[in-house]
Homo-oligomer: A and B are copies of this chain.
Amino acid sequence: MTPSRASTRTTAWTAFGGDLHLDLTGRRAAGAGVRAALEDALREAVQDGRLAPGTRLPSSRALGEDLGIARNTVVEAYGQLTAEGWLTSRQGSGTTVAERTTPRPARRAAGQPRGRRTGRFDLMPGRPDVSLFPRSAWLSAARRALATAPHEAFDYGGPLGRIELRQALTDYLARVRGVRTDPDHLLVCAGFSQGLGLLCSALRGARARSLAVEGYGLPPQREIVRAAGLTPAPLPLDGSGARTDLLHGRRDAAVLLTPAHQYPTGVALAAERRAAAVTWAREHDAYVIEDDYDGEFRYDRQPLGAMQALDPERVVYAGTAAKSLAPGLRLAWLALPDALVEPVARLKQLADTMSPVLDQLTLAELITSGTYDRHVRRSRLHYRRRRDRLVAALAERAPHVRVTGIAAGLHAVLQLPPGAPPEAELLARAEAAGLVLSGLTWHLAEPGLAPDAPPALVVGYATPPDRTFPAALDALCELLRER
């Protein structure tokens, strides 16, 4: 990491006299002379902030050539505006916009991104430790990708995404997750949120009305389902995962599952529940959407293989780089049944033509070079240690709290005993202590679905960087200790 380059940023563009839009035509038409028109145009550009303080103007020669007017006219206009205080001129550094000019009037700051709740300790689940992002490995892979990509890679391409990545993923997913697919059935999308939206729209286009979802899950996913015109229909959960045995006879177009590691409860879907879902899909001309969001992170044993392998024509496999690399990449992929390739690809084309190519080519390089595997292994070890520390600290300092769910992923569910303060109160206390985390109730698909569930917190142990993790753990234990 080199230090910030802010000092060079502010002036670098002007080193060569960048483009500048000046409208002289209207002023000339209104009867102004060339020099007066140029002065007015420059003055206005400085006044309204288009030319920011400190900006270096083009040389009089360059601007004269650009505008098709005499260089001397530009020299005179610059001189006039310098005299008026709008510009400053120093020997050897050309003409720049004066620093004391009025700033552009501030607009109401509408449309700020919805603020993520912030606190001293960020334990919001669903996110990796972004400080692990392999910056230099990514850059090396990008260098190789840029050196070897054919020119056509930079052009418009097909909606499935770059063949290099789809080929690399075909092999990788077969090897690591047991997925059976090929490049013609893989579609690269902008995160699973886009993939889910495309799938729901494709099902809706085939007259579907509802989509079965797990009783606990991500509210934003259910919002995506609804936005596509489908009703999310919750399935209860138990210790074996979603009650897919209850699907029989239901007319949902598909069921959205997290088989490897139920989000957020952390259960692995039992073998008979997997079979029940696939059988239902076959018998009802429906689909299973397998959201394998953290399938690479299992700590106690080999992960269960993807259930897609049970029937690639009935199960859509969805994978993502959001947890293994970074959410900011917006890189995910769907392994599609044959019948869904055309409708989903058409919708992807309509949505954004295709996903951006450079990150795709870079990820393909990372995977084929083995760097991706190494990064996943390193991350797995990192998160596993985090989880072990969380479990040990709670066992020692808050033994009445039960950590539920399998040893996997980036989050844990902390069950509190009956009689503990309600979730809302715990979350308020947490916030007061600078701890940002989530409650299980927030994930409930329907308000009344689990009326008697004891309070439980959902804790993302992956999120904080190493230097704040111990303190975050302390604050959490302090919050949860018996009083």
Contact = CB atoms under 8 A, between A and B. Distances in A.
Contact of A352 (B130, B151, B180, B191): B191
A330 B355 contact: yes
B110 A184 contact: yes
Interface in A34-86: 45, 48-52, 55, 66-68
Interface string A153-189: 1111111100000000001001111101010110101
A369 B177 CA distance: 43
Contacts of A357: 328-330
B356 A331 contact: yes
A113 interface: yes
Contacts of A14: 370
Given A19-B377, A327-B154, A223 B146 contact: no
B111 A326 contact: no
A159 B84 CA distance: 42
Contacts of A372: 13
Contact of A156 (B139, B155, B327, B359): B327
A91 interface: no
Given A327-B155, A329-B357, A110 B185 contact: yes
A338 interface: yes
A46 B465 CA distance: 40
Interface in A338-375: 338, 341-342, 345, 349-359, 367-370, 372-374
Given A367-B13, A373-B18, A52 B155 contact: no
Interface stretch (A20-28, A400-408, A410-418, A447-455): A20-28
Q: Number of contact residues on A: which range applies?
A: 35 or more
A109 interface: yes
Contacts of A3: 148
Contacts of A107: 182, 184-185, 338
Contacts of A302: 21-24, 66-67
Given A49-B174, A107-B338, A174-B49, A23 B305 contact: yes
B138 A177 contact: no
A90 interface: no
A368 B9 contact: yes
A156 B329 CA distance: 9
A396 interface: no
A147 interface: yes
A22 B301 CA distance: 11
5 closest A-B pairs by beta carbon, nearest first, are A113-B158, A111-B341, A13-B370, A190-B352, A50-B174
21 contacts: A2-B147, A8-B369, A9-B369, A13-B369, A18-B176, A21-B176, A21-B177, A49-B174, A50-B175, A50-B180, A51-B175, A107-B185, A109-B184, A113-B160, A130-B151, A130-B155, A139-B143, A154-B329, A194-B351, A352-B352, A356-B359
